[in-house]
């Protein structure tokens, strides 16, 4: 059964998949720079996905895993929220990485986050 996490940004400006893609690109860049400093391919382990855009719709895209341990994470917009979905074929590695990415995105977007297990985390200022 698919599982979902939801991010609710404070401002409407942050509610865009283009902004989410930019933040994921930023995440890829900072992890690869960390790897350069360590003389290790840390970026490949920190973000083991390829960002694949949907040609039919601009309401979602997915992250395709680069190894057997990581398969797929789907990210889309639904009812003024950013939804992160783990389909049935997702692995435990996908869930761990999706939790990490959700927390990163929530920090950058200053959003409220509802994790896959239903727990809530507040990153928005009151």
pLDDT at 63: 94
pTM, two decimal places: 0.91
pLDDT at 44: 79
- SS3 per residue for the chain: CCEEEEEEECCHHHCCHHHHHHHHHHHHHHHHHHHHHHCCCHHHHHCCEEEEECCCCCCEEEEEEEECCEEEEEEEEECCEEEEEECCCCCHHHHHHHHHHHHHHHHHHCEEEECCCCCEEECCCC
Average the pLDDT over 57-81 and give the result. Answer: 91
**pLDDT band, residue 115 (cuts 50/70/90):** very high
pLDDT at 126: 63
Q: Indicate if the pLDDT at residue 55 is higher than 90.
A: no
Looking at CATH, the fold of the domain delimited by 3-122 is given as TATA-Binding Protein (3.30.310)
- Domain ranges (residues) in the chain: 3-122
Average the pLDDT over 89-101 and give the result. Answer: 95
């Amino acid at each position: 059964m698919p599982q979902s996490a939801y991010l609710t940004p404070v401002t409407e400006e942050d509610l865009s998949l283009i902004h989410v893609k930019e933040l994921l690109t930023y995440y890829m860049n900072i992890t690869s720079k960390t790897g350069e400093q360590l003389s290790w391919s840390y970026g490949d382990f920190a973000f083991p996905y390829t960002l694949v855009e949907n040609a039919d719709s601009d309401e979602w895209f997915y992250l395709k895993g680069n190894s057997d341990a990581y398969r797929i994470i789907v990210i889309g917009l639904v009812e003024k929220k950013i939804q992160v979905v783990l389909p049935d074929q997702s692995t435990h590695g996908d869930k761990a990485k999706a939790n990490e990415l959700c927390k990163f995105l929530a920090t950058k977007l200053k959003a409220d986050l509802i994790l896959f297990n239903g727990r809530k985390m507040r990153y928005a200022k009151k």
